[in-house]
Amino acid sequence: MSGIKDSLAPLLEPFKPLKQLAFLFTSSCNLRCVYCPQSLHPENHDASPWLIRHILDFVRDTGIQKVTLGFYGDTLCYKGWETYTTELLDMGVDLNLCSNFNHRLSENEILTLSRFKEIQYSIDTIDRDVFKAIRPPADIRTILHNLVLINSKAICNNTPKPKTIWNCTLTNKVTSGLEALVGSAIHLGVSRIVFNELVRFQEASGGVKSIFELEGTEFIEALEHLEKAQDLATDAGIEIKFSLQYWDKLVEIKKEMEREQTSGDSVTKLNRVNPLQAIQGTADFHAERTESNLLPNQTRMCPEPWSNIFISAEGDIFSCCVRGQSLGRITQNHGIGEILRNASYRDLRRQLLTGNVTDKSCKECPLLPAGDIEPFVQSIRQGYQTIPKG
């Protein structure tokens, strides 16, 4: 590998085992959410039985402890998903699912889900009409009923309840209902709420706005609702997370811009970063420019190309949920293990280890901070040490 110090060469290998494998049973979906590029992909695809078998064998043979389902499409649309996931559960793997849950679930599906470690329900609001308008044709009552059935099944079987997480995509349509959303989350035993900043896919504008696109009193009121909702959640012990790691800073910048607006000397300090090629399409995010660019001696503090793997229903492998360039497609001749060690993967790891980051997605990634190279290399070295099971 050109230009890399000998001492770094072993660090071009993936962690063994990987910390997490994410895959899709299908890229099809039963909903057409206004902000999601799903509807723009008519070429929906189910994973082949051969591909699923290859993934399950890889998980078992390499001892992966955590499998995540559903970063795209909706897992519960795939007939027979519960047979495969039961196999993973019986291997002792921790399962995490993100779904819209707008499905009529069978007894066996409910039982299988009650054994999952974590379940992410995509719930932006508990207002029935607003919910249906944003995530047509979903009915919030079906989703909440499923949540109750799954947790009740775990209680009746005396097994641990799945950790319940709600994902709320923050748009102007839901801000006034945020306190009610948190109130319901408290009532239903939710452990964490993740607020997703609206990612703007060029192909899917959806008629909704990010909080950062609101002006004047509209912005101030939206922020007040969010802050009250956060206080309610924190008092009740619910963990709050934001998809953008520098969310608080963006809010401060936006507040300052609003103050300057009133004095007449406003300067735009908040931008959308140049569009990135994400897995689902071309997307842009809000960011402060200096946050997204790397300074000399800095790198993106991202362990994903070592620790995680994302596999589409077609068998394409991605390093994370942002970078949309396939690092290889799984075939009968090219398995996951081989792709994890190919030239493209090694080059991506080399870029992050040396700080010579030319990959546009890694350079401008809105999810992880920039940081000094040396501590990052140190953290990767430590990542090879596996934590013993049990």
Q: What is the DSSP letter of 104?
A: -
Site residues for ligand SAM, 56-115, by CB under 6 A, read 70, 72, 74, 98-100
What is the distance between the terminal CA atoms of the chain, rounded to a whole angstrom?
38
Quote the radius of gyration of the chain (alpha carbons, Å): 21
User: Nearest distance from residue 27's CB to ligand SF4, in Å?
Assistant: 8
Q: How far apart are CA 346 and CA 57, in angstroms?
A: 24
Q: Which span sits near ligand SF4 by CB under 6 A: 2-10, 28-36, 244-252, 320-328?
A: 28-36
Q: What is the DSSP letter of 387?
A: P
In one-letter notation, the amino acid at residue 329 is R
Does 319 engage in binding with ligand SF4 (CB under 6 A)?
Answer: no
Tokens 């060469």 — which residue?
9
Does 321 engage in binding with ligand SF4 (CB under 6 A)?
Answer: no
Does 119 engage in binding with ligand SF4 (CB under 6 A)?
Answer: no
- Enumerate the H helices of 243-294 as residue ranges: 247-263, 289-292
- Give the residue from 160, 20, 32, 184 showing the smallest Cα distance to 100: 32
CB closer to ligand SAM out of 122 and 292: 122
Q: Mask: binding to ligand SAM, 165-204, rule CB under 6 A, as x and -?
A: --x-x--------------------------x-xx-x---
Q: Which span sits near ligand SF4 by CB under 6 A: 32-40, 104-112, 229-237, 355-363?
A: 32-40
User: Nearest distance from residue 139's CB to ligand SAM, in Å?
Assistant: 14
Of these, 19, 32, 269, 334, which contacts ligand SF4 (CB under 6 A)? 32
Which tokens is 324 given? 């949309």
217 CB neighbour count, 10 Å cutoff: 9
Count, residues in the chain: 390
Contact between 237 and 189 (Cβ < 8 Å): no
- Partner touching 32 among ligand SAM, ligand SF4, none, CB below 5 to 8 Å by kind: ligand SF4
Does 133 engage in binding with ligand SF4 (CB under 6 A)?
Answer: no
User: Nearest distance from residue 209's CB to ligand SAM, in Å?
Assistant: 12
Q: How far apart are CA 101 and CA 167, in angstroms?
A: 12
Q: Report the interface residues with ligand SF4, using CB under 6 A.
A: 29, 31-33, 36, 38, 73-74, 100, 122, 135
Q: Report the interface residues with ligand SAM, using CB under 6 A.
A: 29, 33, 35-36, 70, 72, 74, 98-100, 122, 167, 169, 196, 198-199, 201
